[in-house]
Amino acid sequence: MAECKARGWDEVDVVFVSGDAYVDHPSFAAALLGRVLEAEGFRVAILPQPAWTTADEFRQFGRPRLCFAVSAGNMDSMINHYTANKKRRNDDAYSPGGRIELRPDRATNVYAQRCREAFPGVPVVAGGVEASLRRIAHFDYWSETVRPSILVTSKADLLGFGMGERVLVEVCRRLRDGKPITACRDLRGVAYLLGAKEALPAHEWHDAACDNRTVELPSFEAVGGDKVAFATATRLLHHETNPQNGRRLTQRHGDRLLVVNPPALALDERELDRVYDLPYTRRPHPRYREPIPAHTMIKDSVTTMRGCFGGCTFCSITMHQGRAIQSRSQQSILREVQRMAADPDFAGAISDVGGPTANMYQMRCSRPDVEAKCRRLSCIHPTVCKLLGVDHGPTKQLLQQVRETPGVTSVRVASGIRMDLARFDDEYLEDMARHHVGGQLKVAPEHTSDKVLSLMKKPATTTFDEFAEKFAAASQRAGKEQYLIPYFIASHPGSGVHEMIELAVFLKARGYRPRQVQDFIPAPMDIATCMYWTGLDPMTMQPVETVKKLKDREVQRALMQFFKPENWFVVHKALVEAGRKDLIGSGPQCLIPANPPKAAVAARRDAANGRGRRGDPTYVHSKDAGTKPRGGMPCAPGDSDDDED
């Protein structure tokens, strides 16, 4: 409040409550939205990570003139707090010093409640990833139940889903003009609950080419008790995510009706430039005395675009950022780079230039008239759409201009590369190998089983092999020893013991020993989450087997790390039960030796005595040095032993 008074403010328009520490960097939602509102003339107070057991801190700025804007932060609070095995994480990248317990579980609900308690009658607008992905009745992994829309549990007046700049600005404009929060119900990108006696309003968002029908989802009560109904709701929802033709959705929750309007239209280049050209300091607030890990990681990165048309079934990006690629102009990006280079604290190295992916910059459908009608969930699976523009020219030109900017000594690309797109441009791969890879390049093949890859909407393993060979050759021509870091997922729907053995054999053949294991986490509203909960692929209604028990998940993790002595007994049992004794022994194709190594026996004894690594309360994730793979495949082990990621 002292900072507000220093500006001459006697009151604020909006109090933005966030589960993250405040960092004035465009990668942090509170900073970006706060700066956007500020540029529109609103007085914005940021309340980061408030003590939530009482409403005291929610009153410190006085009664906001317009509204509270509530967000759990850049991550869903439950994913932020818990691993795939539902164990409490031992750090929080968005908190000072990486400390935990600075935000509550289900933070949106708790913050909204405290806002109402602090100032009854002030509108509460919920947003952010947590609210976006819980806007309808959804499966909640941490309680293993279907929960109602977050509007029911938070009692927020309005929910803004997706990227929130346009929605939040328009809501604040209308409230400033004296209109009630209910007057915002016609906006794209919002959801709300009707009262028991309120009628569904009539609104139109599309022209004659796209109808304005309302699609009714199976009710909360239906999806909670019938998995076929849940799968049906999931399919209907995902087919209405193109903002150019998406229809309004409704879903009954008891005697109330949830209304979800069509998604907000994507920002054009000019609008996106305006958002990123605002005067961010790119630093944490001076109140913090400890570094904020997420800021340390991204402080020298540059966001070039939003969205992803990959449509991976386990990924939430398209449900929040959208399927259409929204790109900044090269001029805007270079202005940001020049500002970074002029900062005395800048060391010259840019850590990343990209977004959700590294190589979708300025890629769009070549037929806007078709795009406006398209309901395809992925532009690149099962095949790359013939109408998709896959030109890497703008990306190559941008990277060249960035690395030639005075004051910039190196430019890395840390965002993952879509291999199925990069294969269309060998020159792009040459540029990457020569200029933008610091020894390791992240890619995400995710699995090797054709069945699992199809359920994931990921390309076949041959794409990875082709890319790996090209990258190895390009690195050799550049005179560099460089490796790929391929990421794989354990326990994804469709992945059983046989599929994980197939993956282990693939890893063994290529000499790759992953130190980082990704365990599938069923995030709310994802298609793969529906498969996990219902046992059905919602797009085909065909059955999908999935593992749910902790011990079965541990088997999949162990198979991916078959080379670890402590995993010998688990891997041995899995191979025997699967009829794959041929993979036990001393042959070149064998995953484990015939007899348990001493380290395996010791680990088993320690586990039985309660001294196992996972049972040791002092255990923390540790760094693990990599080893060069055999056979010349340009892969490298991960740089972390955080196999609960």
Pair (253, 348) in one structural domain:
no
Strand pairing of 440-446 and 483-490?
Answer: parallel
Query: CA-CA distance, 54 to 449, in Å (whole number)?
Result: 51
Same domain, 340 and 251: no
Q: Reduce the DSSP state of residue 408 to 3 states and report it.
A: coil
411 and 472 together in one domain: no
| Nearest C-alpha neighbor of 467 from the set 512, 418, 423 | 423
Given a contact cutoff of 8 angstroms between Cβ atoms, the answer to whether 350 and 372 are in contact is no
Q: Which amino acid is residue 591, in one-letter code? A: L
Whether 361 and 448 share a structural domain: no
Residues of the chain with pLDDT under 50: 613-645
Residues 519 and 398 in one domain: no
- Residue 522 domain-assigned? yes
- What is the total count of domains within the chain? 3
Residue 286, in any domain of the structure: no
Q: Give pLDDT tens digits for 366-396.
A: 999 999 999 999 999 999 999 999 999 999 9
Residue 291 lies in a domain: no
- Residues 138, 190 share a domain: yes
444 and 391 share one domain: no
Cα gap 529→522, rounded to integer Å: 5
- How far apart are the C-alpha atoms of 504 and 555, rounded to whole Å? 12
3 domain residue, yes or no: no
Q: Which of 415, 444, 466 is the last residue of a domain?
A: 415
Give CA–CA dist 541/226, Å, rounded.
13
Strand pairing report for 301-303 and 256-260: unpaired
Domain that holds residue 119: 12-197+206-260
Is 154 among the domain residues? yes
Please compute Rg for the chain using Cα positions: 25
pTM for the structure as a whole: 0.92
Q: Is residue 125 part of a domain?
A: yes
Q: The domain spanning residue 575 has which CATH number?
A: 3.30.750.200
Burial track 154-186 (b if 16+ CB lie within 10 A, e otherwise): bebbbbbbbbbbbbbbbbbebbeeeeebeebbe
Note the pLDDT tens digit of each residue in 92-113. Answer: 999 999 999 999 999 999 999 9
Q: Is residue 599 part of a domain?
A: yes
Residue 282 lies in a domain: no
Q: What is the total residue count of the chain?
A: 645
User: Do 180 and 305 have their domain in common?
Assistant: no
Tokens 């801190």 sit on residue: 57
Domain CATH number, residue 174: 3.40.50.280
Residue 203's pLDDT is 85
Distance from C-alpha of 28 to C-alpha of 21, rounded to nearest angstrom: 9
CA distance linking residue 238 with residue 426, whole number of Å: 34
Amino acid at 116: R
The C-alpha atoms of residue 327 and residue 306 are separated, in whole angstroms, by 7
Tell me, what's the pLDDT at 606?
83
* Same domain, residue pair 321 and 431: no
Residues 384, 405: one domain? yes
pLDDT at 208: 64
- Please give the pLDDT value at position 639: 35
- Label residue 544 left, alpha or beta by phi (over 0 means left) and psi (-120 to 50 means alpha): beta
Q: State residue 206's pLDDT score.
A: 82
Tokens 């999949």 sit on residue? 556
DSSP state of 22: P
Q: Are 249 and 333 in the same domain?
A: no
CA distance 467 to 451: 21
Q: Which two tokens stand for residue 211?
A: 């109808």
16: tokens are: 């933005």
Three-state DSSP at 205 gives coil
Looking at the fold, whether 213 and 65 belong to one and the same domain comes out as yes
Identify the pLDDT of residue 485. 87
